[in-house]
Every structure is written in C-alpha cells, then in structure tokens.
Amino acid sequence: MTFGRRLRGAVAARGPLCAGIDPHAALLAHWGLPDDADGLERFAMTAVEALGEVCAVLKPQSAFFERHGSRGVAVLEKVLAGCRELGALSLLDVKRGDIGSTVRAYADAYLDPRSPLAADAVTASPFLGVGSLDPMVETALAHDAGVFVLALTSNPEGRRVQHAVTEDGRSVAADVLASLAAGNAGAGGAGSLGAVVGATVELPPDVDPSTLDIGGPLLVPGIGAQGGTLDDVRRVFGGAAGRVLPSSSREILRAGPDRARLRDAARRTADAFSVLTAPSP
C-alpha cells in the first residue's frame, strides 16, 4: 500500500497528528535527564513507547540524535524500529537536499527498507531545484514511502527564497507546490508526496488554498509551543485544511516524562484538529 494511503488510514484511525521527537538539551533537562547518549535513549524511547500506539505519525528530528555521534544514531535506529512495532508511521526529519548520486544515497539510507535507518517518509529541501530530488522521489515511490518537501516555512529568512519570483513569473513556493501536485497526479487524492507549510506563514500572492491542495498531505509544523492554532490553519489553508497533518513537538514533549501525560497531550491535540478531517454531515 502506498504511503499516501497508509497515512490516510492512520489519520482515520488515530486522528491527524504528527508528534515530533526532538530530544534537545532543554527538554532532556526538563525531564531530569543528562545530555548524553544514555539520556537521549531514555527520552526518545519513553516518547516512542508513550505515543507509538496513539499517534498517526511520529517525527524524530535526526539532528538531535546525530549530535551524540554513533551512539545517537544507534538510538535513532531503535526509535524507527519502535515506531514500526507500535504501528505509528515514521517521518524522519532530515531535510536533505543534494544532486545526483548523493541524493540517491540519502534516499537509500532513509527510504530503502533494507537500511537500519529506513523510515516511512522523510523531509527534503528542494532549493537546489525541485528536479534535484527526483532520485529521492523515485526511491520513495518504489518502496511505498513518502517525501515531504519544504515549500513555505515560517522562519523569517525563508520568505526571501520562497517568495522569490522565478523566470516564468511564479513564486518559488508555487513552483514547488505545482511540482508536487504533478507528482501526485493519478493517486486519487492520496498522493505520497507532501509539502511542508508552516502554520503561521504568509502566503505569496500566487499561492492560495487551491494551490495548496496538491493531492497529498500537508505537514504543518509550528502547532502549540510555536504559536500555531487551529484558527491559523483554517485561515491559511482554507479548503485544503482537510489535508493538513499538524505537527507538534515541544507542547507534547513537555508533558513528559510521565507516559500517561504524554499520551493525554497527544490525544488533546489530535482531537482538536480532527474537525478538519471529519466527513461533512
């Protein structure tokens, strides 16, 4: 089954939530854990065990594991295996982008099921040109995996690039979204190629909810601690809001290390956004 269809099923069963696993130093301290590989493993596996049976998607941020070297990457492998065991889809947040054989090697590392770092989907950067990601997209589709491509991010520096106008008169963001929509054509609205669009972004003039409806999922970070709300999602995404997969990390993780509190925090967020994916009466 394609990633797009598996994601649709997971959201229907568990609600629309992508819970981030971001074990940065401040959260480790908040949990009373040391900022080392042992603290990392206790933090990450507690989060997986608490959330893996209730969340549609878990999104480990690779950088926070890589900073602990080979032991940290070994923990990341355990996190991805834990997601599979507990039934949550894994979205590995790596934001990779390169060309040729290098981007193909990234794809083999993260999307080929024979790799110990294999995930159900990854995040990717298109700013070497959307076409530079073709080997990653090809690998993902060959293995029924997904790729979420940065389109409109909420950091202030992103606007200079993403709102820039290309030679054909479209904004860079609109060009990225159009490429993803083309890649999802024929998937019956359950495409495996998604876009990353921040919850509080300002849209360029040539992007509106119809442009955001790419026939696949829209990963929306910035929910909760970063200020994004259900009202923001409705305002930005309009008729495309039903495709939104809200992503929250700190708001949920700060409820730990108690597993019950972590699950409750995740359920509250998923319940709040379920109105977006609920069928019309």
Lowest mean pLDDT among 117-126, 221-230, 243-252: 221-230
Q: What is the pLDDT of residue 224?
A: 79
Q: What is the pLDDT of residues 124-168, one digit of tens each?
A: 999 999 999 999 999 999 999 999 999 999 899 999 999 999 999
Beta strands in 56-161 (DSSP E): 57-60, 89-96, 121-124, 146-152
**pLDDT, mean over the chain:** 96
Question: Looking at residues 231-251, what average pLDDT do you find?
Answer: 95
Biggest distance spanned by C-alpha atoms of the chain: 53
Overall pTM > 0.75: yes
- pLDDT band per the 50, 70, 90 thresholds, residue 279: low
Give the residue among 47, 8, 19 at the shortest CA–CA distance from 256.
Answer: 47
Q: Is the pLDDT of residue 53 over 60?
A: yes
Q: Is the pLDDT of residue 280 over 90?
A: no
Q: What is the pLDDT of residues 9-32, one digit of tens each?
A: 999 999 999 999 999 999 999 999
Q: Count CA within 13 A, CB hemisphere, residue 174.
A: 18
Q: Is the pLDDT of residue 100 over 90?
A: yes
CATH superfamily of 3-275: Aldolase class I (3.20.20.70)
Q: What is the pLDDT of residue 98?
A: 97
CA angle in degrees (0–180, nearest 5) for 61-211-157 = 45
Catalytic residues: 95
Beta strands in the chain (DSSP E): 18-21, 57-60, 89-96, 121-124, 146-152, 193-197, 218-220, 244-248
Question: Looking at residues 244-267, what average pLDDT do you find?
Answer: 97
Q: Which tokens in the block code for residue 264?
A: 């409750």
Question: Looking at residues 105-126, what average pLDDT do you find?
Answer: 98
Q: Count CA within 13 A, CB hemisphere, residue 113.
A: 8
- pLDDT band per the 50, 70, 90 thresholds, residue 262: very high
Question: Looking at residues 99-111, what average pLDDT do you find?
Answer: 97
Q: Is the pLDDT of residue 281 over 50?
A: no
Q: What is the pLDDT of residues 159-216, one digit of tens each?
A: 999 999 999 999 999 999 999 999 999 999 999 999 999 998 999 999 999 999 999 9
